[in-house]
Amino acid sequence: MYSKIKRTIILVIFTAIFLINTNFKHPQNETESKKEDFLKHEGDHPQSSGFWKLSNIEIDGDATGVDAHNWTWFEEQDWYGGGEGNWTHPYIIENITFDGETKNAFTIKDSSVYFIIRNCTFENSTGTGYALTLENVNNGTITNCSVFNAGTGIFLSNSNNNTIKKNNISDITNYSGIRITSNSDLNNITENRIWDISNAFGIRIYTSCTNNSLSKNEISSCSEGGIYIHSNNENLVEQNVIYENFIGILLGSGGSQEVISNTIFNNTSGIELDNSNNNILTDNIINSSEEYGIYISQSENCTCLNNELNENGIVFSSDTLKRLSSHNISQSNIVNGKTLYYYKNQTNLMQNNFSKAGQIFLVNCNNSIISDQNVSENSRGIAVYYSRNISILNCFLSNNSRSGILLFQNENCTLKNNTGGFSYFQTISLVECNNITLKDNHISYNDFYGIYLTRSGNCSLIQNEITNCRYGIYLRESDNNTLYNNTSLKNEEYGVLSYNCGTIGEYNKIINNTLTLNGKHGIYLEQCKYSKIIENCLINNQQNGIFIQNSDEILVRKNLIANNSEEGVYISDSPRNTIIANNFTNNNIFFFDDFDDMVSNTIDNSNWINDKKLYCYTNKTNLETSDFTDAGAIILINCNNSLIEDLTSSNTTRGISLFFSNNNTIKNTTTFHQKNGIYIRFSNFNNISDNQLYKNEKGINFYYSSNCYISKNNISQNLEYGIYSLVSTYNNITKNNISKNLICGIYNDGITGYNITKNRIENNTLGINFDSGSSDSILYENYFYNNDGHVDDAGTNNKWDNDLIGNFWDNYTGKDTNDDGIGDSPYNVPGSALKIDNNPIWWDAPVINITLPILNKEFGLNPPTYSVNILEGVNDTIWYTILGTGLNIYITESTGEIKDDLWELAPNGALTLRFYSNDSKGYIGYDDIIIFKNVETTSDGETNDSSPSDEFDPTPLIFLLILIAGVAVFGILMIRSRSKKEIEAKEAEIKSLKEQREEITEGDILISKEQHICLVHKGTIKGMSYICPDCGAYYCVKCYNALKDAENECWSCGAPLDEEKAKKKSALRKKKELVKEREEDSEIFETIEEVDTTHKSPQKSQKDIPREDSSDDTTPSAPEKQIEKEKLTIKAQSIQKEEKQIKKLKEPDIPAIDKKGTAIKKFEEYIHKMKKMANDLEDKITNDEITQEEYIQKRTVLAEKMGEATAKLEKLKESESN
């Protein structure tokens, strides 16, 4: 029955498949031959839109003539979908894939007939191509189509009354998803899904297009924006969902557009109006825009009603009063669930006029107070335009994308005690304002500015606190402002930034501010004039305390400048500045200026540095030591022929600085912990000698300086370079000690013509470096020791000897065989220049060789004779000694006899005889030989020479050799006499063993190991047993020897039998070992664990029991000995009892066949018992019932047994599973 049902089901399935295959036809393709032609052309996989795939198709409604591609031609095509082109029976174009092949895929133009394009795919119109073009076309409908991979998706030009509905448009790369232009009116764009548009908008309408409707579209991921309408009027944008674009909706020039009930979220801007008038924005929901919810710029008469904005708000550009006053912004708009207030032309507004404010705008309002408001999570919290006498007090402004408070063209306003932060731009922004007071405001964590002033003057910033912004306070094109007693710290770049200020002849004053811990500078002035920086605290900024760039006539006075990472005051390209009466700690003044700018500055000696005087002289000559009394640091600008001597300077950035100064002498100074110990810039013919320069970043720094003489300085342990030279020429560096500098001893960058001689250069990471721009220097008589790398010469035409002498290299591998102090072969100088030192300095100690006496020879009373020769080098003096005697013997001849005085001092035994040779430079070589002295002393004090006789009697040796040969011959004859029957018997035994091995089972192997029986004859072992060291299998002596002769491998593991490694034990030996162990135990254990019940004595501690090896000299009495003996007896009994308990844990027998797993259960019980005994031992050692030695011994025995049992249990389980 079931087989019949199965056959019936199969028949029905095959019948259905046959009917489907034979009856399927496209509605518009009546003949089978057309389908076959299509499949032959396209293959077996038709497109999802239908059978047809067409390319570059055009229908021109006005075309005439032969082969005109008009609607009549369309009716003749295979892909004609029916219809007559009228309102009731429109033409149908459907189920077609149009492939643009980088051009326009499908174009219809000059047509007013009714048509529908549906369920089609438009693709591959890349670059400037259009996927679907309607040009001067009316009455068309495009629906349910897919458009992708095109320059423009759907393009309408001068086309009216068309509907574009429910299409999917994506991957558009050049223009827009839908593009409508040039007098295209009354088109309906609805319910389309548009996404992934690059470099363009989702929908764009421009150039005189009116009364178009864009509704219910979903637009996302468009790089320029969702919808863009410009140069048009009276279009409707309604109920669209627009998200994750750059701009949601952008209305450009033109106007009178209606934007109604759209949902717009997660865009950079929600809605933007740019030069667009008379627009209506109503009932829109705009959420989470990064910058603006609604942005209105250069636009008039805009109406905003009933819009809901969350985490953004409305922003107006800095616009004219006329435009700002023209808008209708209703209080029906909601920001973050609170009311948006937009007041125009009002006065005397108070707190009750701003109840539950989400956002506040004042335009041309005066004498008003905004206080105690929380306007956060907004685009801009409070904006005031063209107003006077406004006070903003005690407000909280946080997480506003543009700014917390904006004042534009306001006067006489006060912002006090407001708190803000986490804004993208700034918390407080003043633009074109005058006489504004900012006091006690607290601002932190803005992405850009804390307080921003541009084109504003006469403002006072007092006691504000700004932290963790990029710029604390920013003044731009603003003059005559005062910054007093503000704190600006931990900002990413600057505490105060002033740019292009003071250009109208007035100055900004920065007084008594605390500017610390900023990422770059405390104060940064660029293109400013007349600013005054007075009594500020500038500490621990990551670059400079004050940086003055391209600025004029800046006053820096009475500031505390300390511990900034680079400079205290850095002046670059700035003339006529005055720096007086400042207090520097671990900082200094630095100039990066030309000559005229530098000499124009006024820097007197009223500045202090590290509680010493900071001397700065300009245009002086013949300065002496008395001109630098109590100097912490010295700066010379255009000063000549002066002496700086006996100065100690540290932690001042630079100890001594010379700018445009010549013929000066710096000697006997000490500088350490500086950025530069001595800094020489555009200064020539200066003498720098006998100075200590250590633990600086750079010891000496030359910059564009020439013909200086640097000698006898100790330049060491500097963190970067010992001497650093940049673009300098003809300096002479000689007789300096340059050591332990972390990067390089002497670093040369773009230098020419240096003379570097007689320096000791050691223990540097790199000794000397020449970069590729350095050339024509000469180096000789320098000594290179223990540098990680001696030299890296990448320069041009540098010379490493003066044709007579070169440099000493401690890694030179050549010889100086003629003792002239010059190596016999050249030294290859490291570096890409591939230079050589032809005359490297080198000395070799002479190589001396002892030819007599002979090694290890023994001498008696008479001293040995000697003979030596010089193998290499030139000898000057030879002497010898016997080590340990303290006596040197000088000789002039290379042969002779060891002096008696020295020989008598030498003791009997092994002696080291050493010969020395030195050359003319004092380099010493030596050679050793070991000899023996053996002089016996008689009872009367005389000595006997016990050295061996020279005579030798060979008779006993010959007799011994004959005897050995005879024994060997006899052995060979005995082996050969073995009978043939014995050999045959052995062969039979081997055959029997091989057959017997094949019958061995795994159970036999386990029984042999566990019960210690012979694996071969399966019986007990009497006498000696052999145990395989690899697997533990047991053999009796007879079977072991038979196996060794037969196969020489273990039956259990197959390892070779090695009698040397096999464990051998007899029963008697085991017994003796046990007795010995017990005897050792009785000596080691110092406490009694168990006491026999017959003794009734209390337990003794270790310290109570007398030891046999006690150092006490008192001999124990007989009773004491008896007590000791009894204690030892008790101890032995206790030990024996516990050993018996452990040894009673006998491993279970393993049956040959164990179907029920009995052996496994027994082994698990066995292991459990041992674990219990181990726990008992832990308790005893914890309770001090046994000693540490007893615990270790017993724990070891249990551990071994437990380990063996566990391994066997695992084998049993594995065997059972197999």
Q: What's the pLDDT score for residue 968?
A: 57
Could you read off the pLDDT of 206-228 as tens digits, one per residue? 999 999 999 999 999 999 999 99
Do 1129 and 1050 sit in the same domain of this protein?
no
CB neighbour list of residue 1109: distance below 8 Å, 6 or more residues apart: none
Q: How far is CA 91 from CA 79, 80, 88, 118, 140, in A?
A: 11, 8, 10, 11, 10
Higher-confidence position of 450 and 1109: 450
Do 918 and 783 sit in the same domain of this protein?
no
Do 740 and 830 sit in the same domain of this protein?
yes
pLDDT band at 960 (very low <50, low <70, confident <90, very high): low
Could you read off the pLDDT of 1016-1037 as tens digits, one per residue? 777 777 666 778 877 778 878 7
CB neighbour list of residue 353: distance below 8 Å, 6 or more residues apart: 341, 343, 368
Which residues sit opposite 1123 in a β-bridge?
A: none
Do 1029 and 1077 sit in the same domain of this protein?
no
Do 832 and 854 sit in the same domain of this protein?
no
Could you read off the pLDDT of 661-710 as tens digits, one per residue? 999 999 999 999 999 999 999 999 999 999 999 999 999 999 999 999 99
Could you read off the pLDDT of 748-789 as tens digits, one per residue? 999 999 999 999 999 999 999 999 999 999 999 999 999 999
pLDDT band at 51 (very low <50, low <70, confident <90, very high): low
Domain end call among 837, 860, 885: 837
Higher-confidence position of 343 and 1083: 343
Within-domain flag for 568: no
Burial degree of 1210 (CB within 10 A; 0-12, 13-18, 19+): exposed
Pairing mode of beta strands 357-363, 338-344? parallel
Mean pLDDT in residue range 1071-1085: 42
Do 681 and 788 sit in the same domain of this protein?
yes
The yes-or-no verdict on residue 1120 having pLDDT over 90 is no
What per-residue string of b and e applies to 1143-1174 under the rule 16 or more CB within 10 Å gives b? eebebbebeeebeeeebbebbbebbeebeebe
pLDDT band at 1105 (very low <50, low <70, confident <90, very high): very low
Burial degree of 626 (CB within 10 A; 0-12, 13-18, 19+): exposed
Domain end call among 809, 837, 865: 837
Within-domain flag for 875: yes
The yes-or-no verdict on residue 75 having pLDDT over 60 is yes
Do 705 and 830 sit in the same domain of this protein?
yes
pLDDT band at 980 (very low <50, low <70, confident <90, very high): low
The yes-or-no verdict on residue 1058 having pLDDT over 80 is no
Do 908 and 807 sit in the same domain of this protein?
no
The yes-or-no verdict on residue 1097 having pLDDT over 90 is no
Separation of first and last alpha carbons in the chain = 46
Within-domain flag for 326: no
Do 770 and 868 sit in the same domain of this protein?
no
Q: What's the pLDDT score for residue 58?
A: 96
Do 808 and 890 sit in the same domain of this protein?
no
From CA 531, how far away is CA 479, in angstroms rounded?
Answer: 9
Strand, coil or helix: what is 33?
Answer: helix
Do 186 and 54 sit in the same domain of this protein?
yes
Do 111 and 142 sit in the same domain of this protein?
yes
Please tell me the total count of domains within the chain. 6
Q: Model pTM greater than 0.75? A: no
pLDDT band at 1123 (very low <50, low <70, confident <90, very high): very low
pLDDT band at 1048 (very low <50, low <70, confident <90, very high): confident
Strand, coil or helix: what is 655?
Answer: strand
pLDDT band at 1045 (very low <50, low <70, confident <90, very high): confident
Q: How far is CA 559 from CA 424, 657, 1063, in A?
A: 32, 22, 90
Q: Do residues 176 and 202 lie in contact, with contact meaning Cβ atoms separated by under 8 Å?
A: yes
SS3 letters across 605-642: CCCEECCEEEEEEECCECCCHHHHCCEEEEEEECCECC
Q: What's the pLDDT score for residue 1162?
A: 74
Within-domain flag for 990: yes
Within-domain flag for 610: no
SS3 letters across 1012-1072: CCCCCCCCCCCCCEEECCCCCCEEEHHHHHHHHHHCCECCCCCCECCCCCCEEECHHHHHH
Q: What's the pLDDT score for residue 732?
A: 98
Domain end call among 774, 802, 837: 837
> If you average pLDDT over every residue of the chain, what do you get?
85
Pairing mode of beta strands 263-265, 1034-1036? unpaired
Within-domain flag for 348: no
Within-domain flag for 218: yes
Q: Residue 830: give the domain boundaries.
A: 671-837
Q: What's the pLDDT score for residue 168?
A: 98
Strand, coil or helix: what is 1132?
Answer: helix
Q: What's the pLDDT score for residue 1145?
A: 52
Which residues sit opposite 1063 in a β-bridge?
A: 1027
Torsion, Cα 579 580 583 587, to 10 degrees, reads 30
Q: How far is CA 112 from CA 86, 106, 185, in A?
A: 9, 17, 14
Look up the CATH number of the domain holding residue 931.
2.60.40.10
Within-domain flag for 679: yes
